[in-house]
Chains A and B, each alone.
Chain A
């Protein structure tokens, strides 16, 4: 077990080092930093001095090490476009993305489990079949079209909800939140649904198929024979046993939510990290791109590691297998 954990942690670090290498070569070899720092009138002595002071004459490995050391301390350099430290811009934008991701994850998990249980219990009902067919359409629609469709229905035609931005934002010092004001809460509804819809259908279908599997088991039949109430059987006995795969899938989908936030944020002009990243690609703002690359990899590798380890903790069978290998 310990050997497995060490091996997984080691692998994760290796992945991060490789991603760091990509980010670093982008940072180091795209454009000439000397050009952007010194103007047209410069002497060779000037160039040499700046090269030396920036450490550009150091061996590759030393430069890479310095880059990583700075990145670990949260220093990603200065944005070409906004002329401000990248870390500052990201820290300013992160609450918007995290809030959006959290709300849509809640939406996906809550509604996904509820609908999954419902469609499993009322398997032959009309409502369940309608929901299942609708979910198929939902899966095949591209995220950005879902967003546009929601904007069209709820902002253009019905004029109920805002189509862009975060609404009124409250500043809590190190965190800005839109959830405390009415306009902020209204603004988050459409983006959160757009972002969470795919995960919602995924969780719903997973819960449904797991529930159908579990409901067929002997202990459910035995619980029925004991005369337990239907609700107790469904929720206390069946749903509980479907949750292990749901936890893993949800954990892994958390990464996908962060990734698809880029699309949602662009559709709704949500001032988060994803929109920042897309703008950075459009205007080739290398420091921002490199920083986002590093951050998102840390997040993904971390989530995967945690899910893997969680699996170990939740499922005792894996632990026995792990001991044999």
Chain B
């Protein structure tokens, strides 16, 4: 017993950790250890993110380099050597002889890039408008929240589609494929800011009447300073939860738009584009072109979603 305790760091020697760090170590990690579902989804999410980031290193071939493709490899079933070339592909190849495993890794990169960027965009926009609406109030608040209410009556996927259509209309045809990824980020971000704005506004309304805000106002801090340095850190934990769940929704929204053919262009296929391509081979029996991207998308969305659910329960003390 004495041996074990001597291994542990001595409390007196360690400086007292910051409040944030203490909370992190005591609560969240403990909670994570107790929830196997959350732990598994965290590991799956991390592996998928890592695989996407390191795609150029992991992928056996670069699916967008025409030199590495061999048409003879087309339609190789997964794990079976090709009849002509004798090469074996883990998840098979598509009609052009592209390795499905590699296209999935590269596709996931685009899906995650669009998803994360869209959520960050929605978060920044939503937090800014929510803080202003909650702190400043008056007619500015009325306008912001009215817009939010109106937008909320439309399903967000429809809003994203409409924005994609409008943005496509305004860009000259020659640039459409180049800007497609950014149009996606804009469309999904703009369709998703309302959640953030509403939550931040609600929390700001509560915080702004507390004593520390009054104290900050008394010592003469500007409105912007109070919002950013005093209120914002105190309204962030619900934002974190919404951001995680939004990420899952954004990934699915991106996949849906790309599947419909109005998202990522064929030159930069995301998981949705791959599923769209794979659907064409459903009847001719090449199931792997569709199956593996679909399973990857499901796994990614489900893992992030479960992580968000767990985070919501863990950060909400009332539920415990």
Contacts and interface: CB of A to CB of B under 8 A. Distances in A.
A87 interface: no
Interface in A131-188: 140-145, 148, 151-152, 156, 163
Contact of B261 (A15, A29, A282): A282
Contact of A259 (B150, B154, B283): B154
Nearest to A281: B165
Contact of B282 (A29, A141, A156, A262): A156
A284 interface: yes
A105 interface: no
Given A144-B259, A260-B157, A15 B166 contact: no
A29 B305 CA distance: 41
A207 to B, nearest CB: 22
Interface string A97-134: 00000000000000000000000000000000000000
B9 interface: no
A281 B256 contact: no
A148 B279 contact: yes
B275 A260 contact: no
A304 interface: yes
B314 to A, nearest CB: 20
A26 B171 CA distance: 11
Q: Which of A15, A151, A281, A304 has the most CB of B within 10 A?
A: A281
A300 B165 contact: no
A63 to B, nearest CB: 18
Given A282-B262, A286-B169, A300-B154, A140 B305 contact: yes
B318 to A, nearest CB: 19
Interface string A196-228: 000000000000000000000000000000000
Q: Which of B150, B168, B298 has the most CB of A within 10 A?
A: B150
A142 B164 contact: no
A140 B301 contact: yes
A301 B153 contact: yes
Nearest to B156: A259
A242 to B, nearest CB: 24
B168 A284 contact: yes
A280 to B, nearest CB: 7
Nearest to A279: B261
A276 interface: no
Contacts of B305: 140
B143 to A, nearest CB: 12
A240 B164 CA distance: 43
B169 A278 contact: no
B185 interface: no
Given A262-B260, A266-B260, A284-B168, A300 B153 contact: yes
A145 B274 CA distance: 12
A260 B155 contact: yes
A26 B166 contact: yes
A289 B169 contact: yes
Contacts of A152: 282
Question: Interface extent on A, as a size class?
Answer: 35 or more
A156 B283 contact: yes
B298 A280 contact: no
A255 interface: yes
Contacts of B158: 259, 262, 296
Contact of A281 (B150, B168, B282): B168
A125 to B, nearest CB: 25
B38 interface: no
A256 B290 contact: no
A281 B164 contact: yes
A190 interface: no
A141 B298 contact: yes
Given A262-B260, A281-B161, A296-B158, A145 B294 contact: yes
A289 B164 CA distance: 11
Contacts of B250: none
A78 interface: no
Given A152-B282, A262-B260, A278-B261, A284 B169 contact: yes
B282 A30 contact: no
A69 B161 CA distance: 26
Contacts of B297: 142, 145
Nearest to B306: A140
A293 interface: yes
Nearest to B158: A259
Given A140-B301, A141-B298, A142-B301, A15 B157 contact: no
20 contacts: A15-B150, A26-B166, A26-B169, A142-B297, A142-B301, A143-B256, A144-B256, A148-B279, A148-B282, A260-B157, A262-B161, A263-B260, A266-B259, A280-B165, A281-B164, A281-B168, A281-B262, A284-B169, A284-B173, A304-B153
The 3 A-B pairs at the shortest CB distance, nearest first, are namely A259-B158, A281-B165, A30-B169
